[in-house]
A and B are shown apart, each in its own frame.
Chain A
Amino acid sequence: MQRSASRLAIALIATGISVTSQASAAPAKPTAADFATLQQQINALRGDCETKISELETRLKAAEAEVAAAHAAATPASSPAPEASSEVVIADSEAEPSPAAVTPSQNAMNPGVSVVLNGNYVSRSQDPAWARIPGFPLSDNAGPERRGLSLGESEVTFGANVDPYLSAALTVSFDGGGSASVEEGFIQTTALPAGLTLKAGRFYSAIGYLNERHGHNWSFIDMPLPYRALLGSQYGDDGVQVRWLAPTPFFLEAGAEIFRGDRFPGGGSDKNRAQAQSLFLHTGSDINDDSSWLGAVSYLHTAARDRLTAGDDFSGENGVGIASLVYKWAPGGNPAQRNLTLSGEYFYDRQTGDFNALPAKLNRSGWYAQGVYQFTNRWSLGLRYGSLNGDRPAKVLLKSALDDLGRNPKAITGLLEYDTSEFARLRMQFTHDETDLKANDELRFQYTVVYGPHGAHRY
C-alpha cells in the first residue's frame, strides 16, 4: 500500500515537471494561434493527468483489496513451513539452493552461445576414396565419412535478438581437419505483420523435411540417399527467404527463396541475378492427442556453370521436386517415455545441359522411408530404406559418371541410440549399401553433445 502511495506521488511530480517544462519551452513572441495551441496542450495534459490519477486510484484500491485478501486467505493456516529445509540430500544430489542476486554487467547482452561436438568411428568394407554412385555424380559434401576414429564437424552458434524487429544467428562449423566455415549466418524479422517472416544471409533452404535441420538434429548419423545424391546432402546457400503462415485453423505455410546459386546442384554463379530459386508449401495438424502429421511439397531450380564433380564439368539446369510426409506418435502426447516418428520423401530431378561439353538430359528420382521408435526412456531404434532411380544418358555419355549402368542404387540402415539426457546421445548405425558396383557394409559409432543455451527443437 505504501509503495503504491509513493508511486502515485512520483507520478504526480513527474507530470508536474512535464507541464512546467512544456510551458517554459513556449516561443518568445507568442501569437494568438500559439496561445490556442498551448491552451489545447494544457487541456490535453490536464485530461491525461486526471486519467492517470484515477487509474492510479483504482490500482491503489485493487492493491489494498489484494493485501486484505492475502491476509484473509493466510489466516486459517499459521506461518508457512520453512522451505524444503528438512529434505534429505544424498551425497550425489543437488546442493541446497539459495537465491542468487542478478548483477547487471558488460556481458548481460551477450548472445546465446551453444556448441555442438561430435566424434565418430567408421568401419567400412570398401575404401571410401573410390566410393561413387553410378549415374549420380556426387558433390564433395556427399561423399562417405573417413574410416577410423575422427572428430566430426563441430559447430558454434551465436544467436540473439538484434532489436525489436530482427533476430540473428551465426553458426560456424569446424571440420575435423580444423578449417572453419560459416554454415549459417542470417538475420530474420520478428515483427512483420500478416504472418510474414523474411530471412536473409546464408541458410539452409526450407525445401523438403530434413533439409533445414542441422546435423545434430538428424534422426540418423547421415542424410538419406536422395539428399546425398541430388542435393549434396543438404542444400544451403546465400540468399533471401520469405515465409507466410496462413491464419487458418490448421497449419499452412508457404514460402519462396532465391539464392546466389553457388552450391550443388548449382555452381559457378557470378551474375547479377540469383541463379537458384525455390518454392515450398507446408501443412499439417493433429490427428488426436497421440498423433500428428506434417506434409510438404517443394521445388528447387538451380543453374550451374562449370560445376565440377570428380573432374567432370557440367553446365546446365536442375529442377528438383520433393514431396514429404511425416507422422509422429506419442502416447497421450507425452514423448518422454515412448514415441515414434515415421517419415518419407520422394524426389524427382530433371537435369538438362552439357556434361563435359556433351549434351545431357536426365530424368532421375529417389525416395526414402524411415522410422525411429523410442521404446523406453532414452533408448531408440531406427530403420531406414533409401533408393535411387538413375537414367541412361545419350550414347556419347554411356560409361560416364552420368550412366547408371542400368542399376538401382539402394541402401538399408539400422540405428540404436541411447541418450544420456536431452543434450547428449550415443549412436550405433549399420548400413548395407548397394549404391556402388560392390556392396559396402558400414558400421558407425557417434557421440553428439550440445551445450549452452540450446534452442527448442523443430517438429
Chain B
Amino acid sequence: MIKPMLSAVIAALTVGLAGPAAALQVFACEPEWGALAHEIGGDKVSVYVATTGVQDPHLIQARPSLISKARTADVTVCTGAELEIGWLPMIVSQSANKKIMPGARGVFQPTDYVHLLETPASLDRSQGDIHAGGNPHIQSDPRNMIPVGKAMADRFAELDPANAGLYHGRYQTFLGNWQGALKRWQAEAAPLRGVPIAVQHRSWIYLETWLGLRRVIALEPKPGVPASSGYLAQVLEVLKKTPVKMIIRAAYEDDRPSTFIGGRAGVPAVMLPYTIGGTDQAKDLYSLYDDTLSRMLKALK
C-alpha cells in the first residue's frame, strides 16, 4: 500500500520537477564540449556546462550544484583521459544517475575518439600530474572537433533515436562550416610554422602539432608541479641558448611564471583562451581559434 503510493509520489516529483523541453539533457564538463553539443544537438539538447573558461578543469570542487545537475543528465560530455579525475567521479557517484555511471552509454568522452599524444611510458606520481591515457588537452587542435563531433552525433542519435536524422544532419552542416574555418585558420597561421615557443603547462601539444610550433621547454619541471626558482634559472639558461618567440599559457593559469620568465628573457608572455570564455573574444567555437591565432600572430610581430 505504502510502496506504490511512495513510487507514485516520486514519479510525480520526477516528472513535475525535471520535465525538460529538450530531448537530451547534456552535462558538459568543459565549455568547448558544451558548444560542440549545441552545434550537433541544436534545440533538441539542453546543455549544462560545469566549468567556466577561467577554471582549471583539473581542479574543481565537487559542489552540490554539480551533483544536482548530474542527477538529471542523460549524457555527460567530459574530456576523459583522467582530466576530470579529481572531481567528476565524486559527482557521478553522488548523482545516483545510472545513465551516466561508468560504462553506461550516457558517458561520452571526446578523448576516446582522438589519437592521444604524450602517453607516458611508465606511471608513477614522482613524474608529477601525468595522465595514463595521454595528454587530455585535445581541444587545442580544432581538427579534433571533426572526429569528436561525428562520434557525438552518433551517440546522441543512439540515445535519442527519434532525432537521429537531425543530429546527423547538423553534424554534416557543422562539418562543412568547420572545414571552411580550418582552411582559413591554416592559411592565417602559416607564419607560425616552425616557430620556437615555451609553454607554462604542457597543455598545448595538439596546438603545437596542428600549427607546427616547436616547443623548446615547459616552465613546469613536471606536469602540475610548480617551478622552483632553481628550475626557472635553468629555464633562463636554456632560453639564452635556444631563444623562443613567445611563452604561452592558458587563461586559467597563474600568470606569474610566464610573465617572470618572459620579462627576464625579453620574450612576450601570451595568454591564450584555452577554451570558450577564457578571454572576452573567445565567445564560441569559431572565435576560440580566431582569438588563439590572433594573439599568437600579434606576439610574433
Question: Which B residues lie within 8 Å of A333 (CB)?
Answer: 51-52, 54-55, 60-61
B140 within 8 Å of A (CB atoms): no
Interface residues of B in 39-85 (CB under 8 A from A): 51-52, 54-56, 59-65, 67-68, 71-72, 85
Give the docked Cα–Cα distance between A336 and B189 (Å).
33
Chain B 92-131: CB-based contact to A (< 8 A → 1; otherwise 0): 0111111001110000000000000111111001011110
Give the docked Cα–Cα distance between A455 and B88 (Å).
10
Interface residues of B in 4-22 (CB under 8 A from A): 7, 10-11, 13-14, 17-18
Known: A456-B87, A457-B87. A289 touches B72 (CB 8 A): no
Say how far A286's CB is from chain B's closest CB, in angstroms.
4
Say how far A91's CB is from chain B's closest CB, in angstroms.
8
Is A328 a contact partner of B63 (Cβ separation < 8 A)?
yes
Question: Which A residues lie within 8 Å of B209 (CB)?
Answer: 80-81, 83
Give the docked Cα–Cα distance between A98 and B122 (Å).
9
Say how far B228's CB is from chain A's closest CB, in angstroms.
9
Known: A73-B182, A93-B222, A283-B64. A455 touches B18 (CB 8 A): no
Say how far B261's CB is from chain A's closest CB, in angstroms.
14
- The stretch that binds A, out of B143-151, B264-272, B284-292, B293-301, is B143-151
Question: Which B residues lie within 8 Å of A94 (CB)?
Answer: 127-128, 130, 222-223
Give the docked Cα–Cα distance between A196 and B10 (Å).
10
Say how far A292's CB is from chain B's closest CB, in angstroms.
5
Question: Which A residues lie within 8 Å of B119 (CB)?
Answer: 97-100
Is B17 a contact partner of A246 (Cβ separation < 8 A)?
yes
A197 within 8 Å of B (CB atoms): yes
Question: Which A residues lie within 8 Å of B187 (CB)?
Answer: 76
Interface residues of A in 44-88 (CB under 8 A from B): 58, 62, 65-66, 69-70, 72-74, 76-77, 80-81, 83-84, 86-88
B residues at A contact (CB < 8 Å): 7, 10-11, 13-14, 17-18, 51-52, 54-56, 59-65, 67-68, 71-72, 85-91, 93-98, 101-103, 117-122, 125, 127-130, 143, 146-147, 150, 168, 172, 175, 179, 182-183, 186-187, 189, 193-194, 196, 205, 208-218, 221-226, 231, 234-235, 238, 242, 252, 254
Q: A247-B13, A456-B88 are in contact. List 19 more A-B contacts (CB 8 A).
A: A84-B205, A86-B215, A90-B221, A94-B222, A94-B223, A97-B118, A194-B10, A246-B13, A286-B65, A292-B63, A332-B252, A333-B60, A334-B56, A335-B59, A336-B59, A337-B254, A421-B225, A456-B86, A457-B86
Some 27 contacts from A to B, beta carbons below 8 A apart, are A58-B168, A73-B143, A77-B193, A77-B210, A81-B208, A81-B213, A83-B117, A84-B205, A84-B215, A86-B196, A93-B221, A98-B119, A98-B121, A100-B119, A195-B14, A195-B71, A247-B14, A289-B52, A292-B61, A292-B65, A294-B64, A335-B61, A336-B56, A378-B226, A423-B125, A457-B86, A459-B64
Across the A-B interface, give the 6 residue pairs with the lowest CB-CB distance, nearest first: A284-B64, A251-B64, A456-B90, A81-B212, A76-B186, A191-B98
